[in-house]
Amino acid sequence: VITAAAILGDSSYLLLKQAILEHTGLAYYSGKDDDLASRLARRMIARGARTCGSYLKMLDDPPEMDLLVAELTIGETYFFRHAEQFEALRQAVIPDLLTRNRARRRLRIWSAGCATGAEPYSLALLLWQDFGPALAGWDVRIVGTDINQAFLERAREARFNEWAFREAPPGFTDQYFVRAGKEWVLRREFTSWVSFRHHNLVQDEPPFGGHAEPADLILCRNVLIYFGPRIFARTAARLWDALAEGGWLVVGHSEPNQQVFSEFRTVQISGQTAYQKLAGGVANPGRGPAISRPKAAESGFATANAVTVAATAPAPAIAPPTSRTVRRPAPVSALHPALKTPQPAADATVAGARRLADGGKWQEAARRCRVLLGASTLDAAAHFTYALILEHSGRAGEVQPALERAIYLDREFALAHFYMGLCLYRRRSFRKARRCFQNVLDLLRSRRDDEPVPHGDGITNAELAELARMHLALLEQP
Ligand SMILES: C[S@@+](CC[C@H](N)C(=O)[O-])C[C@H]1O[C@@H](n2cnc3c(N)ncnc32)[C@H](O)[C@@H]1O
């Protein structure tokens, strides 16, 4: 039986390794020969291959290549992975696309390197939950692709174990899934927008762009990290080609790269980087003068000088990502920028509740808020914090009253009006939601653009105003 050591000593090993890395792009293995050899050994034993040369020939047979790919790829994924990125999609990217595409009423999304499907399904649930009314009558398609056929089969079943929900809010599975033994299957009504297709990012024609219709949004997260610089750059160019004018690209947390994505406009949304394809590109360092602000006509953000920042070196984040943003489990602050930064000493007790929430201790955080509110029912910030904790704890019915109390106590609490707008929108109370977003704009009118919003984790008045305008624009749609 062939062993990893024998594979490493085989004179054709390097040839075999090169062929595999060329096919998959997985430069990740270039310095991990022991790991690669032990994965190879499993397939070579299964096929009875005694030498690397003979196994290399077997790889001409696509099913064997698929089986080897299944050995080599790493399919780590879960629902709402990096919740902050989904929050950025919810706050800015999706509203922008809905505004942009309102005449065509069509939305095309590509989840490239989707593994077993948690990512495209998370997107579907986000669209359904937060933009359902705006998307009524729209033609929505979310295509998940991957090089690993076995992952795709699994993804099509929409079946997940508990591990896939490790960062999902309580009650999430009960709301959208049905139990199947130890696993959960996503209910059919939430899968209809999503389809899956085999695709190798290194060598296949992308399913969007070119002769096919372009994508409005591409998520390619935690895939490029495994590629070497050459394939990374080539893939970035292909993703650019696959996007529609004004379309968006979101890569994994550690994957933004100013040089590789220099054609794109770099946009910071509450500390998260997103890339937008704009005609004529943007002027980036080394390519001419930097454009600090897109023209209104170029972007659905119109006058946004807040949510959007053109690529200049180094990209000036509006709310710089901190270690908190990548901590696991997903902090409540990741879902709600308002909770990200503990408030100063005067607010210490509310800050304590926030810290508990950030640590995933929802029940304790909620309890702390109740104690706080028992001591002083007049603390608007405590009611607001409580509302966000309730929302994240799946207690949707109690969110609105808590926000109402915060607003009652502090009529000028812009962020509470904003969240109330989101809450009412979700409940399809459109007229009232419009009123809330309008309140936000009215309140912010007399405030300085670059000043931070109270309890807003560095988000500025101009940014919040832009978000409110985008949500108002959504509400204007027929
Ligand atoms: C770590 S998972 C990321 C899953 C998901 N995007 C996420 O962030 O949760 C990486 C995925 O990239 C896929 N992949 C690796 N090389 C690929 C290639 N050349 N073409 C397409 N997919 C590839 C792997 O099969 C795996 O499913």
Q: What is the pLDDT of residues 270-295, one digit of tens each?
A: 788 999 999 765 544 333 222 222 33
State the distance from the centre of ligand 1 to the C-alpha of 146, rounded, in angstroms. 6
pLDDT at 315 over 50: no
pTM here? 0.72
Residue 393 to residue 396: CA distance in whole angstroms: 8
Residue closest by Cα to atom 27 of ligand 1: 115
Ligand 1, from 89, 223, 224, 328: best to mutate by most atoms within 8 Å of Cβ? 223
Question: Is any ligand 1 atom within 6 A of the Cβ of residue 116?
Answer: no
Q: Is the CB of 276 under 6 A from ligand 1?
A: no
In DSSP terms, 59 is beta-bridged to none
With the C-alpha atoms ordered 88, 90, 95, 97, is the resulting torsion angle positive or negative?
positive
* Integer Cα distance of 40 and 4 in angstroms: 8
pLDDT in tens, 332-380: 333 444 444 333 333 447 878 887 777 667 778 888 888 888 877 788 8
Is the pLDDT at 325 greater than 80? The verdict is no
The predicted-structure confidence for 5-44, as pLDDT tens digits, reads as follows 999 999 999 999 999 999 999 999 999 999 999 999 999 9
| Comparison of pLDDT for 431 and 389, the residue scoring more | 431
Alpha helix stretches (DSSP H) within 347-398: 348-358, 362-375, 380-392
Per-residue pLDDT, averaged over 101-108, amounts to 94
Tell me which of 110, 146, 163, 253 to substitute to probe ligand 1's pocket, judged by most ligand atoms within 8 Å of the beta carbon. 146
Take residue 363 and report the two structure tokens written for it.
């029940």
Q: From the CB of residue 387, how many other CB atoms can be counted at a distance below 10 Å? A: 27
CA-closest residue to ligand 1 atom 10: 223
Distance (Å) from CA 201 to ligand 1 centroid = 9
Verify whether ligand 1 is closer than 6 Å to residue 82 (CB atom). no
> For residue range 161-170, what is the model confidence (pLDDT) as tens digits?
999 998 888 8
pLDDT over threshold 80, residue 47: yes
Pairing type for strands 139-146 and 194-198 reads parallel
Q: For position 284, what pLDDT does the model report? A: 41
d(CA 125, CA 213): 23
For ligand 1, say whether the CB of 74 is within 6 Å of any of its atoms: yes
Give the CA dihedral 26, 30, 33, 38, nearest 10 degrees. Answer: 0
Q: Determine whether the shortest distance from the Cβ of 27 to ligand 1 is under 6 A.
A: no
Residue 464 CA to ligand 1 centre (angstroms):
34
User: Using a 6 Å cutoff on CB, does residue 122 contact ligand 1?
Assistant: no
**How does residue 478 score in pLDDT terms, banded at 50, 70 and 90?**
low
Position 330 scores a pLDDT of 34
Give residue 75 CA to ligand 1 midpoint distance, Å. Answer: 6
Q: Are 116 and 154 in contact, with CB atoms under 8 Å apart?
A: yes
> Is 75 close to ligand 1, i.e. is its CB under 6 Å away?
yes
The tens digit of pLDDT for each residue in 177-234 reads 999 999 999 999 999 999 999 999 999 999 999 889 999 999 999 999 999 999 999 9
**Average pLDDT for the chain:** 84
Pick from 241-245, 334-338, 406-410: least confident: 334-338
Instruction: Copy the structure tokens of residue 335.
Output: 């879902």
Q: How far, in Å, from the CA of 342 to the mean position of ligand 1?
A: 35
Q: What gap in Å lies between CA 392 and CA 380, rounded to an integer?
A: 19
Residue nearest to atom 17 of ligand 1 (CA): 147
Element housing 96 (H / E): helix 94-100
- Cβ–ligand 1 distance for 255 under 6 Å, the answer no
Ligand 1 contacts CB of residue 275 (under 6 A): no
Alpha helices in 199-310 (DSSP H): 229-242
The residue among 404 and 270 whose pLDDT is bigger is 404
